[in-house]
Structure 1
């Protein structure tokens, strides 16, 4: 730690990297890149050849490109990108739907086994809150340290 009590940049960076959500995000990006390669291969090697077969050998859909003084606007490339997106979106939807179903079945099995109730019982109790100032207070407090209100259990014979 630095002399002024603040963490160094390297220590802060290490703490940031070691958080679970950063690692999950990194794994997601890597898997997403690999999945994109699979979808692109499917479109390039399966779907586009089928389109070429149907259209008589043209690599794209004929008549969907415009030549503007040597610059070609190719709408068939856009259609291929839309197909890539739809396949990717459908696959991600199927994966998320399957994972949600697995989680639902796991929770249902845990509930049937009585594990959900045990986990709820093992959870930390809700913190006690002052009914007057709504600040968190100790469980055994008889006066609120924030607003000094008398709480349940307060006893003082001098008053």
Structure 2
């Protein structure tokens, strides 16, 4: 069983998956920072600083100043604003990832185009051409 596990871990696709997960986690931090620190402030500038996370409904009795206060008090909270903010953040992150993938694909296609346009090197006459020249020379000599 230990040998089977070793064989499973040693496969290339498992290692590729592990590298992808690690890079994905690091990329998540970058995208989260991009959305939270750069894009959301720009959106807040255009929307007048509207923060949807303050929109909530307490199911039952009680009034609370914030979602966090209601949740700490143990009240059932329908946090509409948090859900709306999650959707907005998802759309922003999806758009950023789309633009990143589009840019990477453009770079790949430019690299592929450069490989296709590589100049052909003149290698001279082929073996068949040389044999035909020898044949013609022998025919001339004999004739």
TM over 0.5: yes
Q: CA RMSD in A?
A: 2.9
Residue 87 of structure 1, CA deviation: 0.9
Note closer, same or farther for the CA distance 1:39–1:67 as it changes in structure 2 (3 Å cut).
same
Structure showing greater radius of gyration is 2
Question: What is the CA distance between 1:52 and its match in structure 2?
Answer: 1.5
Q: CA shift at 1:107, angstroms?
A: 4.7
Equivalent pairs, count: 103
Query: Equivalent residues in 2 for 1:80-159 (5 A)?
Result: 80-102=89-111, 104-105=112-113, 107-108=115-116, 112=120
User: Of the two structures, which has the highest relative contact order with CA contacts closer than 8 Å and spacing of 6 or more?
Assistant: 2
Structure 1 residue 27 corresponds to structure 2 residue 19: yes
Tell me, yes or no, if the aligned pair for 2:35 and 2:89 is still in contact at 8 Å: yes
8 Å CA contact 1:55, 1:61 repeated in 2: no
Would you identify which runs of 4 or more consecutive aligned residues in structure 1 move more than 6 Å?
none
Note the alpha carbon deviations across 1:109-158, whole angstroms, 9 max, x for none. Answer: 778469xxxxxxxxxxxxxxxxxxxxxxxxxxxxxxxxxxxxxxxxxxxx
Instruction: Judging by fraction of residues, say which structure has more helix.
Output: 2
* Residues 1:67 and 2:57 are matched in the alignment: yes
Q: Which runs of 5+ in 1 are unaligned?
A: 1-8, 115-159
Question: TM-score normalised to the size of structure 1?
Answer: 0.52
When normalised by structure 2's length, the TM-score is 0.56
